[in-house]
Amino acid sequence: MDKRPGAALAESQGLKEMIKTHAKYNLGQVVRHKKHPFRGVVFDIDAEFSNSEEWYDAIPEGARPRKGQPFYHLLAENDHTYYVAYVSEQNLIPDDTGEPVDHPDVGDLFGEFSEGRYPLEYQLN
């Protein structure tokens, strides 16, 4: 244990940072957006915001998510199209429909849909 002044506080703050960036959702999990009509399967997770400032600034100021939270890359779908979405954890909820995602790229990364999720079949970086 580090006996230097402030070491315990620094260690405590470090643990708090680790807790803050713990992802709520997992690879292969199907989720949906809280406000917009789309759902998708998680294929990558950033511990905190890791997109461009231009992307972030394009979001209306009152609707911008906090940067210090997990952000999820989704193979997303809505009633009209398929696409890749980048969504903050605060804007996602679990999808409890039990229905698979029809995105055409799902089979490139995941195995067969089972029990509300997809098993990872491809090793990401």
pLDDT in tens, 13-68: 454 444 455 899 999 999 999 999 999 999 999 999 999 999 999 999 999 999 99
Q: Distance between CA 57 and CA 48 in Å, rounded?
A: 16
DSSP 33-77: ESSSS-EEEEEEEESS--S-HHHHHTS-GGGPPPSSS-EEEEEEE
Q: What is the predicted pLDDT for the residue at 109?
A: 94
Distant-in-sequence, close-in-space partners of 75: CB < 8 Å, separation ≥ 6: 40, 41, 43, 82, 84, 101, 103, 105, 106, 109
Average pLDDT for 79-102: 97
Q: What is the predicted pLDDT for the residue at 20?
A: 53
Sketch out the chain's domains with CATH numbers.
22-109 (2.30.30.390)
Q: What is the predicted pLDDT for the residue at 8?
A: 47
Mean pLDDT of the chain: 87
- pTM for the whole structure: 0.80
Average pLDDT for 76-104: 97
More confident site: 62 or 11: 62
Distant-in-sequence, close-in-space partners of 12: CB < 8 Å, separation ≥ 6: none
Q: Distance between CA 118 and CA 14 in Å, rounded?
A: 33
10 pLDDT exceeds 70? no
Percent of the chain with pLDDT over 90: 76
